[in-house]
Amino acid sequence: MQYRELGRTGILVSELCLGTMTFGQQNTEAEGHAQLDLALEHGVNFIDTAELYSIPPRAETYGATETIIGSWLKARGGRSKLVLASKVVGRSSSPWYRPGGEEARLTPRQIRYALEGSLRRLGTEYLDVYQLHWPDRKIGLFGEGGTTFTTLPDTDEVPLEETLGVLGDLVAEGKIRHVGLSNETAWGVAKSLACAQNGAPRVASIQNAYNLINRTFEIGLAEMALRERVSLLAYSPLGQGYLTGKYLNGARPAGARTTLFNRGQRYEKPGVDVAVEAYLNLARAEGIDPVQFALAFVTSRPFVTSNIIGATSLEQLTTALTSVTVRITPELESKINAIHQVHSNPAP
């Protein structure tokens, strides 16, 4: 396991980060604890969660993942050796996020409410990274609208200055150490960095989807990440499991996430299956496990600081953790890019 600096913070995080969104629905508390133990045994020091987890979001499971991580931290200790990140939900009409069914917004009052809940469930006095799960302003999210942006929405927005201002107060109070973005655009990153010139905390990271069938981060955001040292924390490195090939031709394996929850629409667009087959064939021709192939590609990108992996079994997690032994050679990268040229970003 290698370690990389998170933004300009001086904090070193493992090149693989343990994603935890299955804890509380697909995984029990005991299974979550076992995953955390195994990840640490392999050198992972970075754990990512969110107030809305587990996935899919439901009132009954809101905060369940943080609660499981909190019970593990209480039992195992060692909080100071970990880099712990969580997220506050962006604008949402789901009634269970805020008291009285109030619409969730990234206002100072609501951010303080959300953070206090996360700290309580996690049993910690501070978060190393507190991320805005998605913006308050209206943009295409989670594959909606592809990569296009054509008109300004006619909805009100909580100004980023206001949101980042309260996060700066929370940094000063010692409740969070650093600030991150998620599901954000190049404009959002640039605007956030501009706010830092006026006293707001400098964003350390951006957590966006990045994988073989969605490399849209490379269009604008990768240069931003490298030049400004805003770390990409890549989520969905397996394209929600579609890059394993288990969903090819409409297959729905028992117990798989899309089988259980029917939430794979981002990766069910025209052209996805043929692209997945091309990458699977390349991995097999190279003698590389397809899961490790897809993960190693993401981890090897120079603008990726940490690759967020997730699993529902220890066997799956072991495969993911040992992907760090796979090297993407220049020759293999050329073959990957040849496929990408023909099948570019079918699941943005």
Mean pLDDT of 48-55: 97
Q: How confident is the model at residue 147 (pLDDT cuts 50, 70, 90)?
A: low
**pLDDT single digits (tens) 170-217:** 999 999 999 999 999 999 999 999 999 999 999 999 999 999 999 999
Average pLDDT over residues 141-158: 75
How far apart are alpha carbons 177 and 163 in whole angstroms? 16
Question: Which segments within the chain are labelled E, that is strand?
Answer: 3-5, 12-14, 16-19, 46-48, 83-88, 127-132, 176-182, 203-207, 231-234, 304-309
Tens of pLDDT, residue by residue over 109-134, are 999 999 999 999 999 999 999 999 99
Tokens linked to 253: 């394996």
- Does 66 have pLDDT greater than 70? yes
Nearest to 119 by CA among 146, 85, 144: 85
The two tokens of residue 58 are 């439901």
* Known active-site residue 53: yes
Cα distance between residue 58 and residue 95, in whole Å: 10
- Point out the least confidently predicted range of 96-105, 106-115, 133-142, 181-190: 133-142
The residue written with tokens 């760090």 in the block is 324
Q: Residue 267: which residues within 8 A CB-CB, separation 6 or more?
A: 143, 213, 239, 240, 242, 247, 347
Q: Pick the residue with more confidence: 58 or 142?
A: 58
For residue range 268-314, what is the model confidence (pLDDT) as tens digits?
A: 899 999 999 999 999 999 999 999 999 999 999 999 999 999 999 99
Distance of alpha carbon 84 from alpha carbon 241, whole angstroms: 24
Does the structure show a pLDDT above 80 at 88?
A: yes
Pairing of strands 176-182, 127-132: parallel
Instruction: Give the lowest-confidence range in 116-125, 138-147, 213-222.
Output: 138-147
pLDDT of residue 145: 63
Asked if residue 150 has pLDDT above 80, the reply is: no
- Asked whether the predicted pLDDT for residue 85 surpasses 70, the reply is yes
pLDDT band at residue 73 using 50, 70 and 90 as cut-offs: very high
pTM higher than 0.85, yes or no? yes
Q: Determine the Cα–Cα distance for residues 27 and 311; give it in Å rounded to an integer.
A: 9
pLDDT at 146 over 80: no
Residue tagged active-site, from 3, 53, 247, 279: 53
Place of tokens 């109070």: 173
Among 25-29, 160-164, 249-253, 342-346, the range scoring the smallest mean pLDDT is 249-253
Give percent above pLDDT 70 in the chain: 98
Confidence of residue 341 (pLDDT cuts 50, 70, 90): very high
**Residue 61 pLDDT exceeds 90:** yes
